[in-house]
Chain A
């Protein structure tokens, strides 16, 4: 059963010259599926994640999340959708600077609870994630007091804490050493096991073996790669 369907998605930018990072993109992602999207830098991999995450409006085409056509939704509804179903791991480490690591997680749980109170167990998961990601002793640190790798792991914990149905991971292993890269991949697989779909963007060919399906985005077109 598909949790995310893209049909003929197109996106253009005008930045001095016209750039067309997404041309006629079709993609279906099932629950529990792990998908990797590869491609050279600047080809629009992150743009595709932003479109799937409803943070960026496609110029044309249709996007369905859990059977719902996103184009029909208002900004408020899209925001609720993000809070309830989508977990983001951005390319840059991004946390709320005035909150400690634990407060960042609590804040995310609080936002998720507003939408879907009964199905959230984020607060209970916080300690598990902090422990798994080696951050338990850094829980009360502010983001600027953490190293780049710790911030990256904190961002991963924040993205997963509300048990999202779709996990959008943009180069999640950047800044991480082999040990933590493996741990993160293992956690992402655990999320797939509970039914979440993972769409991961990477240019690290070594990770392609982790995925159920691998796609290449090149010249705005998405092609399936055999593994």
Chain B
């Protein structure tokens, strides 16, 4: 019977391809939506968990949104006086502050990594953001000629590299965060100011300003009982000439947005699923109908009802598995480009599609394919198996 099942699939090519195609498309969309939703959600969660700072204070004219500050590698090159840090530190609810200095985003030719990245200076003494994310390090106190690389760079620790025509030792590496930090070179804040000022390629320090007193942002750690969103609201009335962005509420808003968008997409996918199941019911009904005479013949020569049932169901499940495998593989292959496009378009944090997720998505896709086909094929298989042989042979068509 297995041989007959297989011959039915390969020798009725057009019918089989149609069934496999419907299943493949359904599974493809499921795996893609599932993958994008899960990985983007994980990226957002990772961002919240690893952000370090509860709020970020930036210059008033920086025109930065929470999105671009947290999740992209393109911060504005606007600066404020380092004295603001002390003013922020005195505000109620603040437990810690640390400055950061953003250089202009560096082009691929600026350094040995051959890709766009941003250069950030930080203060190792007061820092609580970078320190918490250290994955590997070979330093005790970060030196002037040492840098730390974001989570997208691996296996560079201990090597030398050039940044803006100056040689540095790679002394540390961060865990991936799902934020713009992953694509960042960190160095001591004074060194960042110095090489930015000295570089012919960068023209970001305002004329007449002494770069040694400039900072781009103050990263703020709040007390446990201070709400970041409330802090950011109250900051407006603090009299400090700067803008405050509550990092966690930005992420929460994004998560809400993602959840709502996902619900809409999920609803549309359910509609697609229903259409797929209905068309497969039609396919399998037609499959049983076209072969009514043949089924009658098989019953006449001694094939049992349960074998007819198994034959129809087996064919359906085999085609479902083939469609499921094709759909799952196609979706997994396209996952990264699609996710990249979605993240770029909607300014979502980057996230990683790894082999574990591929396996989960693939297996889920196959299970879905089999469930769809079982749901669609059981009734036609039962009606085919219960056909009265004489009626099947003489009438030839199913009502």
Contacts and interface: CB of A to CB of B under 8 A. Distances in A.
Interface residues of B, number: 24
Q: Which of B8, B293, B301 has the most CB of A within 10 A?
A: B301
Main secondary structure, interface of B, reads: helix
A108 interface: yes
B141 interface: no
B160 interface: no
Interface string B294-309: 1011111111110000
A55 B4 contact: no
Nearest to B11: A98
Contacts of B8: 98
B355 interface: no
Given A79-B302, A82-B299, 10 more contacts: A55-B389, A79-B303, A84-B302, A94-B296, A98-B4, A103-B7, A107-B4, A111-B302, A115-B302, A142-B11
Interface of A is mostly: helix
Interface of B: 3-4, 7-8, 11-12, 291, 293-294, 296-305, 388-390, 393-394
Given A46-B394, A94-B294, A94-B393, A56 B388 contact: yes
B4 A90 contact: no
Contact of B300 (A46, A55, A107, A142): A55
B304 A76 contact: yes
A66 interface: no
A98 B8 CA distance: 5
Nearest to A112: B302
A82 B11 CA distance: 28
A56 B294 contact: no
A92 B393 CA distance: 9
A97 interface: yes
Contact of A92 (B293, B304, B388): B293
A107 B142 CA distance: 79
A99 B7 contact: yes
B301 A111 contact: yes
A99 B7 CA distance: 7
Nearest to B8: A98
